[in-house]
Amino acid sequence: MTPGMAPVATPFFFYLLSGLAVLGGVLVITRRNAVHSALALIVTLLAVSGLYLMLYAPFVAGVQIIVYAGGIMVLFLFVIMLVNIERTAKERQFNRIWPAGVLAAVALLGLFVSVYVKGKRLFPDSNLPLPETSNTQQIGVMLYGNYMFSFEIASLLLLVAILGAVIMAKKRI
């Protein structure tokens, strides 16, 4: 970043983006119409990508848009569009697992509060590990240098998952 340049990472943008993300998240679970939920989820994902930008992680932000908002959500919508929405909206919910959901939510809230209270001790202050201008290059060096083995293992796992999905979905190959 050139000196003298106004920083973009102002509190205003942080609250705007996190507000959008929370609003989108609430809409995802409150809308009855699955397509509306999916659209709200896209808003959340884009807001989170903006938050990554504020953390000086442009590469992660770009990948977030390409993979989640542009790729996965299109496939979600693709499937949801083929579902008869009127029918699903009228269908009564028949499972009774809301106590478990409430329990999980309370536990998560407890975790957040404890991190907020003890955060200073758990996570000491540190400088940016990677400068913004060479962030992408540094990530490349890390992935293909220091963490080459785990990276390749992860891609092998994904490949196995893809092959498994194809074999299960197709009777005759």
Partner 1 sequence: MSYFGSQLSPGVAGNQLWALIYISIIFAGVSVAVMAMNWLERKALAHFQVRLGPMRVGPHGLLQPIADALKLLLKEDIIPAEADQFVFWIAPLIGLLASFTVYTVVPFGPSQAVSDMNIGILFMLGVSSLGVLGIVMAGWASNSHYPLIGALRSSAQMVSYEVAMGLAVVSAILMTSLNESGTGTLSMIEIVRAQQQQGIWFIFKFFPLGLIAFVIFAIAMVAETNRAPFDLAEAESELTAGFHTEYSGLRWSLFMLAEYAAMIAVSSIAVTLWLGGWMRPFPNALSAPAWEFLFSLFPALTFGGLAGIGFLGAARMPSHSFFKIQRAGLAVFAALLGLLALLLLVIAIAGRNADNSIAARFREGIDYVYWFVLKVAVFMYLFIWYRATWPRYRFDQLMKIGWKVMLPISLGVLIVTAIVGVIVK
If one asks whether residue 41 binds partner 1 (CB under 8 A), the answer comes out as no
Site string for partner 1, 137-156 (x = CB under 8 A): x-------------------
CA distance 64 to 42: 11
Among 13, 18, 20, 36, binds partner 1 (CB under 8 A): 36
Looking from the CA of 169 toward its CB, the CA atoms found within 13 Å total: 6
Q: How far is the CB of 74 from partner 1 (least distance, A)?
A: 5
If one asks whether residue 26 binds partner 1 (CB under 8 A), the answer comes out as no
Sort 161 into a burial class: Cβ within 10 Å, 0-12 / 13-18 / 19+. exposed
Q: How far is the CB of 110 from partner 1 (least distance, A)?
A: 36
If one asks whether residue 69 binds partner 1 (CB under 8 A), the answer comes out as yes
| Both structure tokens of 113 | 């509060």
If one asks whether residue 59 binds partner 1 (CB under 8 A), the answer comes out as yes
CA distance 46 to 17: 9
Q: Which stretch binds partner 1 (CB under 8 A): 20-28, 70-78, 90-98, 142-150?
A: 70-78
If one asks whether residue 65 binds partner 1 (CB under 8 A), the answer comes out as yes
If one asks whether residue 63 binds partner 1 (CB under 8 A), the answer comes out as yes
Among 55, 88, 132, 161, binds partner 1 (CB under 8 A): 132
Among 23, 28, 135, 151, binds partner 1 (CB under 8 A): 135
Q: Report which residue type is found at 60.
A: V
Q: Report residue 49 CA to chain centroid gap.
A: 8
Give the binding site for partner 1 (CB under 8 A). 2, 4-6, 33, 35-36, 39, 42, 58-59, 61-63, 65-66, 69-71, 73-75, 77-78, 81-82, 132-137
